[in-house]
């Protein structure tokens, strides 16, 4: 699958909660190009975060179906992505959570730009993963 952007969970949440960067995420969907991608691990992370914030399971499923089904392309996490995640974590000077390393590795493997709002993602050294920071 050819995608130009991988949306981190923070980018989806920025859009959902209409935070800084929401308009950039909206423009990616309206651009008419290929749908942005997400890493498969984003499915669990988004549902978990919305469960904490919203609590309404029916609403969560509806929101997630829109974001994870209709608006994005889900990219798999396989061994090559896991190996890239290890390399990214090893090269990042400060702690990078495994889920975020897997999402960044998904972007790198796809040759896509990682769209995020996380300060710890911004610590990934230049050149490892192309980034669009919504901060």
- Between CA 135 and CA 125 the distance in angstroms is 17
Q: Where are the domains of the chain?
A: 5-133
Coarse DSSP helix, strand, coil percentages of the chain, rounded to the nearest 5 percent: 55, 10, 35
Domain 5-133 class in CATH: alpha beta
Per-residue pLDDT tens over the stretch 106-116: 999 999 999 99
**What's the pTM value of the predicted model, to 2 decimals?**
0.93
Per-residue pLDDT tens over the stretch 14-69: 999 999 999 999 999 998 778 899 999 999 999 999 988 877 888 888 989 888 88
Q: How far from 115 is each of 7, 58, 62, CA to CA, in Å? A: 5, 27, 23
């Amino acid at each position: 699958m050819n995608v130009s952007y991988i949306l981190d969970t923070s980018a989806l949440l920025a859009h959902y909660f209409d935070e800084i960067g929401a308009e950039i995420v909206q423009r990616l969907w309206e651009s008419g190009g290929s749908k942005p991608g997400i890493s498969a691990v984003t499915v669990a992370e988004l549902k978990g975060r919305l469960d904490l914030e919203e609590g309404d399971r029916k609403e969560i499923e509806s929101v997630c179906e829109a974001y994870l089904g209709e608006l994005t392309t889900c990219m798999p996490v396989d061994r090559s992505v896991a190996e890239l995640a290890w390399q990214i974590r090893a090269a990042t000077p400060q702690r990078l959570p495994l889920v975020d390393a897997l999402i960044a590795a998904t972007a790198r493997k796809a040759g896509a730009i990682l769209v995020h709002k996380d300060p710890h993602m911004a610590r990934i050294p230049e050149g490892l993963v192309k980034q669009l920071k919504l901060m």
